[in-house]
Amino acid sequence: MSDNSIQKDDWGAYFESLSGILSGKRMLVEIASPLIGDQIEANWAPLIGITYDHKDDLIDISLEHINHMIRSPKSVQIHHEKNNMAAIEIRDDGHERHILKFKEPFLFFKSGD
């Protein structure tokens, strides 16, 4: 598995382009917290979209029946398996890891790659 980091200045455009491609795809959302352990927030729910609001400094993951918001995100890592995007890991300022796994990994490159 290989990883690459998305710079904060690119989050808005990256998530906007990703949302267009992933709409309707099923995702698992897991929160790994040093205080409460690992929790599943969404279990293979269809994705509506992912956005980054720079004004409020939050990432909003909209899934069918669930909105998962990450306030004060600090980093975004993309995990690849065999050249396919398999997961996105977002860390917040509370040291929680928000892991978005795709039921079916897919090929996706941000512009300029």
Which CATH number is 49's domain given? 2.70.180
Is 0.75 surpassed by the pTM of this model? yes
Name every residue whose Cβ is closer than 8 Å to that of residue 57 and which is 6 or more positions away in sequence.
71, 72, 73
- pLDDT tens digit sequence for 27-82: 999 999 988 889 999 999 999 999 999 999 999 999 999 999 999 999 999 998 88
Number of domains in the chain: 1
Beta partners for residue 92, in sequence order: 73
Q: Is 77 left (phi over 0), alpha (psi -120 to 50) or beta?
A: beta
For residue 87, give its domain range. 2-106
Q: Would 112 be classed as within a structural domain? A: no
Tell me how crowded residue 45 is: count the other CB atoms within 10 A of its CB. Answer: 18
